[in-house]
Amino acid sequence: MIKELNLDSHAIAELVLHLGRIASSEALVEGLTPVQWAGLRYFARANRFSRTPSAFAAFHGTTRGTASQTIKNLETQGYLTRIRSETDRRSVQLVLTDKASGILVNDLFQALVRAADSLPPGVRGDFANALQRMLGQVAWERGKPTFGTCASCTHLEGDDCSREGRAPYGCGFASEPLLLEELDEVCINFVQGKPMTVRGSVSGAAPR
């Protein structure tokens, strides 16, 4: 039986920081830098409201200029493409190309995904909520936006029941219907409203 560790706050913070360090690599993988990989992971997980240069900059805590340069490099290499928004033709969304989806299977970040997937379901849920709470506290102190998923957002509306002419879920912030598969995507408009729920195995390419 593994003895439970009683760690102080500094030890917990150092473990989180060290986990992030060893889960990423400074070496070039598939010819991409760590920053470019971070861009691919973000746009692989971002929802349709958050696939913009400004949202990417906010998520990674960089300037818009730095974010734009990373996006430009990814577009030049054929990993990102721009499409017009269906609801606002004046705005564009950045989406992954098939080329990008093909190399994400080699992302070193997947080691961290597998580690999370190895946790028992109950532990995984508690751990996710603890990290979300820590992230919210740090973001509040730094004056940064807190990203998250619809599943635990206060703007989530609906009850999983489809009615005639209506989707089972909706976003109260954007006044838009939501598909079931969108509930696990990362959003810039996130506001913590309820504990996170972890459905099935951990998947995706970008951390929240």
- Has residue 135 been placed in a domain? yes
pTM value is 0.76
Whether residues 169 and 81 fall in one domain: no
Q: How far is CA 2 from CA 5, 114, in A?
A: 9, 21
Q: What is the span of the domain harbouring residue 65? A: 10-106
CA within 13 Å, CB half, 208 = 32
Does 21 share its domain with 101? yes
Q: What is the pLDDT of residue 4?
A: 57
Q: Are residues 97 and 18 in the same domain?
A: yes
- Same-domain pairing of 14 and 97: yes
Residue 159 vs residue 188, higher pLDDT: 188
For residue range 33-60, what is the model confidence (pLDDT) as tens digits? 888 999 999 999 999 999 999 999 998 8
pLDDT beyond 70 at 2: no
Rounded-to-integer distance, Cα 173 and Cα 47, Å: 14
pLDDT of residue 201: 41
In a domain, 3, yes or no: no
What average pLDDT does range 166-178 have in this prediction?
85
Closest among 58, 146, 1 to 66, alpha carbons compared:
58
Q: Tens digit of pLDDT for each residue in 84-118?
A: 876 666 678 899 999 999 999 878 788 888 888 99
Domains held by the chain: number = 2
Report the percentage of the chain scoring pLDDT > 70: 80
Task: Please provide residue 188's backbone torsions phi and psi, each rounded to the nearest 5 degrees.
Answer: -75, -20
CATH (domain of 29): 1.10.10.10
In a domain, 128, yes or no: yes
